[in-house]
Structure 1
Amino acid sequence: MKLRLPALLLGLGLSIVAPAPAAAYPVDCAILLCLAGGWPSSTQCAHARAVFIRRITPWPIEPPLQIWNCPMRATVRGAARPLARLFDISARGDPLPRPAEPGASSELHLALDRADIDISDPAFDVVRSIRVFEITHQQRRNREGDCKSWSRVYLGSYGAQGDYSRRPSSLSAVPAASDLAIPADCSSYRHRSVFVEWRDHEGRYGHEEVHY
């Protein structure tokens, strides 16, 4: 599937001025489209971003984009591509489309917890750009003057088809944009946060950090 986001973002511009209610389509479709467009100002995108951030706010920590809940393999008109159809839905507030009948499309049908179409095209790199860091670090000097520190970092990321995985990582992998600032002199320090970063369709960097 060859998708050209600049053309689709024109559709997103239409959704900004349309009076469609935010609940008229799955919020994960809105997250995908709004993130790709750099979170433009609109009621839909404000709601989508709030859900995106709420999901990484402990506890529990969830994948901020759950693309498997966005029905891109939906019945479409003519040759309309799935994301083009999603722009159409968000702009007009249509009812959710019915899934296509099995065997009615040559699109790749994927398993649970993945996109229901093939999203390996570079147009969907916005999905794979999302990374979630769960960061915990503590340090102090004990009575003997020894530096004692403890840290735990997990990294959540998306695979080629939008599948989300979480694995152990390290402090050195934490992006510089994080508020993590470990004192070099081993003075008492404690940091607990969830940090999420992403890039929109033009490669512009964005991030958010939730402390707890």
Structure 2
Amino acid sequence: MRRQAMAAALGVMAALGAPEKAQAYDIDCAIMLCMAGGFPPSTVCARAYRTMIRRITPWPSLPPFGVCTFAHVPVELGGPGGEGELDTNLPEYEWLNRTHVIWFTGRSYEPRDEPRQWDWSIRSCDRENRTCRYIQRVYGSHTPWPATFISESGQEIAYPTGGGLWHFYSRSIMVEFGDYEGNMGHSEWFSY
């Protein structure tokens, strides 16, 4: 009886103990590893993908993932407990440096006594959403936004909508990423 009570107490302590830090570390590593593999179908990668999208969709958005390095694992979890930084300038992290968050904003309107017009912009930001640049910015076009655009990484990506007559305003976000072999991919568009 005493062993069962001790086992139950240890189980509760394990469930309520240090897992929050381990959980944050684990999901960031899962996001990076699954992204490098193109988010292959699995429970872990599906959860990593959902977490990444949940981070980038609020405004202001959060980086798609945090730092994943063994140096940050606490000693109590079996790591060195150091303060080392992950050097992403090394060639083996080139795939990580090709990660971009792509923002789309478009609207359709009718100025007084003029035909319908469209405005749209595509903005590409680094994986931390710190450095951003516009890929396209169009104001007062008499035609809807086109079906596709070319990203910074050379991918042809479809716009979130066709910009038809009934699309009066659209705001969406996606993540463009490369895997460790240099293949590029992207998430679907998420409207917010």
TM-score, normalisation: structure 1: 0.58
Which residue does 1:135 correspond to in 2?
104
Q: For 2:51 and 2:93, how far apart are their aligned partners in 1?
A: 20
Between the two proteins, the alignment pairs up a number of residues equal to: 152
Q: For 1:24 and 1:165, how far apart are their aligned partners in 2?
A: 22
Q: Following superposition of structure 1 onto structure 2, how do residues 26-37 of structure 1 map, counting pairs within 5 Å?
A: 26-37=26-37
Which residue does 1:99 correspond to in 2?
81
Which secondary structure state, in structure 1, belongs to the residue aligned with residue 104 of structure 2?
A: strand
- Higher normalized strand content (fraction of residues): 2
| Aligned alpha-carbon RMSD (Å) | 3.1
Contact 1:141 1:188 in 2 (8 A): no
Q: For 1:43 and 1:37, how far apart are their aligned partners in 2?
A: 14
Q: Following superposition of structure 1 onto structure 2, how do residues 37-186 of structure 1 map, counting pairs within 5 Å?
A: 37-67=37-67, 70-73=68-71, 95=77, 97-100=79-82, 109=84, 116-158=85-127, 164-171=129-136, 175=151, 176-180=156-160, 183=163
Q: For 2:158 and 2:65, how far apart are their aligned partners in 1?
A: 20
- Whichever of the two has the greater Rg, that structure is 2
Which residue does 2:183 correspond to in 1?
204
Contact 1:31 1:45 in 2 (8 A): yes
Alpha-carbon offset, residue 131 of structure 1: 0.8
Letter in 2 for 1:41: P
Q: CA separation of 1:118/1:168 partners in 2, compared to 1, >3 Å: closer, same or farther?
A: closer
Which secondary structure state, in structure 1, belongs to the residue aligned with residue 176 of structure 2?
A: strand
- Give the unaligned 5+ runs of structure 1: 1-21, 76-93, 103-108, 110-115
Q: For 1:30 and 1:141, how far apart are their aligned partners in 2?
A: 47
Q: For 1:178 and 1:56, how far apart are their aligned partners in 2?
A: 19
Letter in 2 for 1:55: R
Which secondary structure state, in structure 1, belongs to the residue aligned with residue 56 of structure 2?
A: coil
TM-score, normalisation: structure 2: 0.63
